[in-house]
Amino acid sequence: MFDKLLEAQKKAEEIKNRLDTISVNAEVEGGKISVTSTANKSLTAIHIDPEFLKDADSEELEELLLTAINKVLVQAEQVSQTEMQAATRDMMGGLGNIFGK
């Protein structure tokens, strides 16, 4: 039983490491602002088109940045959940005999 739990813990760590390698991207204003994140919800890049930046006021920029960040975090969460669900199905198949049944 302990071996199965160690295996599950190892698998969870592998998933976390894999999620660090998956990138998701969200754009607003037709791509004038884009935000990139890992599937572990760590922001890795923000790009703001210099031409857009010249004409944007700070309130508009802040609002659009928040929108783009929230969109990318939702995407990251969806990818993370999908990966975790797949791994859970795999692990549960292996844990089916944990109590000798």
Q: What is the pLDDT of residues 48-69, one digit of tens each?
A: 999 999 988 999 999 999 999 9
Handedness of CA 39, 45, 46, 51 (dihedral sign): negative
Could you give the number of structural domains in the chain? 1
Query: Can you list the alpha helix ranges (DSSP code H) found in the chain?
Result: 2-19, 50-55, 58-95
CATH number for the domain that contains residue 46: 3.30.1310.10
For position 51, what pLDDT does the model report?
94
**Within a domain: 97:** no
Cα separation, 80 vs 43, whole angstroms: 14
**Within a domain: 87:** yes
In DSSP terms, 35 is beta-bridged to: 26, 46
For position 42, what pLDDT does the model report?
96
**Within a domain: 14:** no
Q: Which residues of the chain have pLDDT under 70?
A: 1, 91-101
**Within a domain: 54:** yes
**Within a domain: 4:** no
Expressed as residue numbers, the domain containing 47 is 21-91
